[in-house]
Amino acid sequence: MFKNALITKGYTLIELVATMAIAGTLLALAIPSFNATLTSSRLTSYANDLVSALNLARSEAVRRGIAVTVSKKGTLPDWGKEGWTVFVDINGNSINDSLDNLCSTSTIGAATEDCILRAYPPLTTGYTLTTTDNNAVVYLPSGLITASNEKLFTLCSGITSKSIIITIVGRAYISSGVVTVESC
pLDDT in tens, 16-70: 899 999 988 888 887 777 777 888 888 999 999 999 999 999 999 998 888 899 9
Residue 3 belongs to a domain: no
How far is it, in rounded angstroms, from Cα 31 to Cα 34?
5
**Predicted local confidence at residue 26, as pLDDT:** 84
Residue 5 belongs to a domain: no
**Predicted local confidence at residue 114, as pLDDT:** 76
Domain extent, residue 82, equals 12-183
Average pLDDT value for residue range 100-126? 75
pTM here is: 0.77
Give the DSSP per-residue string, 3-22: HHHH---S--HHHHHHHHHH
Give yes or no for residue 183 having a pLDDT over 70: no
Residue 1 belongs to a domain: no
Average pLDDT value for residue range 76-85? 88
How far is it, in rounded angstroms, from Cα 132 to Cα 90?
25
**Predicted local confidence at residue 111, as pLDDT:** 66
